[in-house]
Amino acid sequence: MTKLASLRSALCGATALAAFTLPTVAQEISILSGYPEMTPFYERVAESMKGDYPNLTVNVEPITLREHERRVALGLSSGLEGASVIELSTSTAGRYVQAGLMPAAPADISEFVSDPANFGQFFVDAASYDDTVYGVPLFRGQGALFYNTRMFAEAGLEGAPKTMDEYTDYAEKLTQRDENGNPVVSGWSLRLSGGSQGIAEKWWLILFNHGGTLIDEVSPGKWRAGYANEAGVKALGQYLDNIYDKKTVTIEMPSDAEAFEREQTAMFIRESWVIGDIAAKAPDLEYATAPLPVGSIALPVNLYVAGDGSTEDMQAAWDFAKAANEPENLVWLLENVGWLPNRTGVDFSSVTDEIEAFSAFVDYPEDYTFFTVPSIAVIEDLQTRLAAKLTEAFANPAMQGDDAAIMAFLESAAEETNAILKREGLLAE
């Protein structure tokens, strides 16, 4: 045996020995989430992957949504380290996909997403761009009415309001007042303050149920403000009537899920995550849910993968997104967190039968319609600016009952919306 042959044999032997004795190379992925309540879900998914990935470390990094959006904007534009699973709504992710900052899904994932047995076309489209799959659908934000059944019974009301006019009537009957007539428990909690964009989004939902929309796609890719009309007048008029005429709510009153859980409001419109929140914070609350009169927002949230991780880590990240859609994980998500999974063909009856509050989110009328936030770059800018104007309108009692003043306000706001669309070359002529 020559020296070279001996050396070669020794090397082969050492390599084989190392393969058997050294531990498998450790893998690491990060989960960037904008919904802190999703943390236990992702930890559960990570745990469920231990069989296939015994050496995989999953770092779940949740922060509040706005901070998450900033983190993603900075991370993707400057380059993310390692392999990251990024949770993003379709409207936010669109710009990154179009800019080539998100890789397309590998073939196996693309096949999984495109399979009609797994996801409806709406969700496939939401996770795709130019017929290529970039994300894995996970859950959606969908609104419904939450109402306190004890307060409804005390006010002599049976069931939820069925028309937008009834919403105001019910709110008036449900409002509890002190000896001076000032509301102490609001009849209907409306989004009147706080983070700016949400104000416009919540108003959009009311507007939609009056027959309007924030922006209308007049021709493919071309948009125009859709609220300076009768529906807009009704939607804004309803806010102002509730604040200044019926006095069912004030800007200072506690609002949102927290107020509902503390019985400081009788009803409000929110997404399904509130069910999980109530179960955790106010399990004895007597409440029910109901679909809205016309329809609701459906905001799909997908899991994307990005970063400069190794091929193995990137594959693990994609497998994580797929594992999140395993039926047992989705049932757990619905039951414990409350966000609505997007996957079809999964039997959620064990949860929906037990927790009746989900019925409004899954059993809605046949003619119930949905809208979503369009995936255009300026949508946040539009909503932020409209929200700033709406805040001023909500604080202006002079507009209450004056349809002409409301219309003038809406026309002025729509002018700004159209100017932004024009700036970006998106305005329909």
Partner 1 sequence: MLRRRRFRFAILALLPTFAIFAWVRMGPIVQTMNLSVRDWDLIGTNRPFIGLANFVELFGDSLFLTALVNTAIIAFGVMLLTIPTAMVLAGLIHYRTRSRFAGFYETSVFIPHVVSLVPAAMAWKWIFDAKLGPLNALIVSLGGSPQSWLFDPNLALFSIIVLCSWQALGYAVLIYLVGFRNLPTSVYEAARLDGASGIQAFRFLSIPLLKPITLYVSVVTLVSGFNVYAQAFVLASDSQGAPGRQVRVLVLDMLENAFRNYRVGYAAAEAMVLLLIVLILTGAQFALLREKGNSK
**Residues that bind partner 1 in the complex, under the rule CB under 8 A:** 64-66, 69-70, 73-74, 76-77, 95-96, 99, 101, 191, 193-198, 202, 251-257, 377-378, 380-381, 384-385, 388, 391, 395
Considering the complex, state which of residue 46 and residue 207 has its C-beta at the smaller distance from partner 1.
207
Backbone angles phi, psi at 364, to 5 degrees: -115, 165
d(CA 185, CA 421): 40
- CB-based contact 406:240 (threshold 8 Å): yes
Considering the complex, state which of residue 96 and residue 167 has its C-beta at the smaller distance from partner 1.
96
Least separation in angstroms between residue 68's CB and partner 1 is 11
CA distance readout (Å), 25 to 19, 28, 41, 227: 10, 10, 26, 57
d(CA 160, CA 293): 10
User: What 3-state DSSP class applies to 66?
Assistant: helix
Strand partners for 304: 86
Least separation in angstroms between residue 378's CB and partner 1 is 7
Q: Residue 314 corresponds to which tokens in the numbers above?
A: 């990137």
Least separation in angstroms between residue 282's CB and partner 1 is 17
Least separation in angstroms between residue 28's CB and partner 1 is 25
Least separation in angstroms between residue 155's CB and partner 1 is 22
DSSP E strand boundaries for 159-214: 176-177, 183-185
Residue type at 414 in one-letter notation: A
| DSSP run (H or E) holding 27 | strand 27-33
User: What 3-state DSSP class applies to 49?
Assistant: coil
Quick one: DSSP state of residue 286?
Answer: -
User: What 3-state DSSP class applies to 231?
Assistant: helix
Considering the complex, state which of residue 30 and residue 383 has its C-beta at the smaller distance from partner 1.
383
Considering the complex, state which of residue 45 and residue 243 has its C-beta at the smaller distance from partner 1.
243
User: What 3-state DSSP class applies to 147?
Assistant: strand
Considering the complex, state which of residue 13 and residue 194 has its C-beta at the smaller distance from partner 1.
194
d(CA 368, CA 145): 14
- CB-based contact 226:214 (threshold 8 Å): yes
Considering the complex, state which of residue 91 and residue 325 has its C-beta at the smaller distance from partner 1.
91
Considering the complex, state which of residue 67 and residue 166 has its C-beta at the smaller distance from partner 1.
67
**Residue 378, Cβ neighbours under 10 Å: how many?**
18
d(CA 418, CA 226): 10
Angle, CA 76 vertex, CA 46 and CA 141 arms, to 5°: 60
Least separation in angstroms between residue 176's CB and partner 1 is 14
d(CA 119, CA 271): 21
- CB-based contact 196:202 (threshold 8 Å): no
d(CA 373, CA 361): 18
| DSSP run (H or E) holding 226 | none
Least separation in angstroms between residue 76's CB and partner 1 is 7
- Cα 310 to chain centroid distance, Å, stands at 31
Considering the complex, state which of residue 96 and residue 358 has its C-beta at the smaller distance from partner 1.
96
- Cα 429 to chain centroid distance, Å, stands at 31
Least separation in angstroms between residue 15's CB and partner 1 is 43
Considering the complex, state which of residue 256 and residue 319 has its C-beta at the smaller distance from partner 1.
256
Least separation in angstroms between residue 416's CB and partner 1 is 8
Considering the complex, state which of residue 378 and residue 406 has its C-beta at the smaller distance from partner 1.
378
Considering the complex, state which of residue 66 and residue 173 has its C-beta at the smaller distance from partner 1.
66
Least separation in angstroms between residue 202's CB and partner 1 is 8
Least separation in angstroms between residue 62's CB and partner 1 is 14
